[in-house]
Amino acid sequence: MGEIAEALRREREEHEQQGGSDRPQASSAVPRSTQVSAAFESPARESSVADALAASAVEEASAVPEPAADEALLKLSESALDGIGRVELHRHLALQVSSQLEVRSAQTLCVVSALRDEGKTTVAATLAMALASLTSTRSVALLDLDMRNPSVKRRLEISAETGVESYLLGHSDLDAIRLSIESPLLDVYPSIEPQPSAHELLARPSLGGLIDELRARYETIVIDTPPTLIVPDASMLLKRIDACVAVARAGISRTRRIQEMLDLLPPEALLGKILNSARMPSRDKYYYEYGYEEESPSESPPSSETTGGAR
């Protein structure tokens, strides 16, 4: 967390020295990472990914290719990209998400993926920090409900002894599990210990109490959720949220698994899709760039044989 906060502080100081707006900006760094990129798709400007997958000729076992030029992607002009920095890319995605949340009067936003190692925790943490950097008030929270494999604490390099599981069991109140980041103004509610019976915790009435309390305190709550296709936990959570974004990774995620995930998501709640890419594609599309570390799989970038189909 120290490296993230320091990067945010430096970016803000540089921005102020250049005579920019006082409005905080998003972080450009996530600790000890290699760089990857992601495309953000909005359902309001595209046909559904389900339709795209159904129309593709990609076999079930093939991986999702790196994105080709597509009108479905939210775009910036090429001239704008020439003068824009990584921080602005973070901020642009946060603005897009924030705008859609406002239109839907949505407070809770789940970040979901089909399986493990697709980058959802990184997306959730970075998106929460970017959203928090757009406001001067403490109005954004990050909640870790991937209780079988809690990763937010590790992702942000924060130290905590009491987590969400303690609240759900009735052992702690909300203030006891809150960790507050000062730059940007973000409150984090981590899970600490892996919970093999997480579904039992999530079935408790205290989960509703947790979300209700967070709604009363914050304008936006970003939630890291369990992989949708591995355990039933995510489907239990989706009943309680307002919106979600789906995460997949080019060259790793399988089209059939993405389709199965989308079938489980409430269509009216789907805000958009974020596609992690192993390489930086062409500049005529908007890509959200961020760091990647613990969820990065060991496989090498996909060969042309695995990326020949449509998205």
Q: What is the pLDDT of residue 16?
A: 56
pLDDT digit string, tens, across residues 232-291? 788 888 889 999 998 887 766 777 888 888 888 888 899 988 876 544 444 433 344 333
Residues in the chain: 311
Average of per-residue pLDDT across 57-85? 33
* Domain residue ranges of the chain, discontinuous segments joined by +: 2-298
CB atoms near residue 84 (< 10 Å) = 15
Question: What are the tokens at 194?
Answer: 């892996």
Question: What are the tokens at 138?
Answer: 């403490």
The HSE-up count of residue 272 (CA atoms within 13 Å, CB side) is: 23
Three-state SS for 183?
Answer: coil
For the entire predicted model, the pTM comes to 0.66
Question: What are the tokens at 136?
Answer: 């001067």
pLDDT digit string, tens, across residues 161-207? 899 999 999 999 999 999 999 989 999 999 999 888 889 999 999 99
The fold adopted by the segment(s) 2-298 is Rossmann fold (3.40.50)
Task: Name the percent of the chain lying above pLDDT 90.
Answer: 31
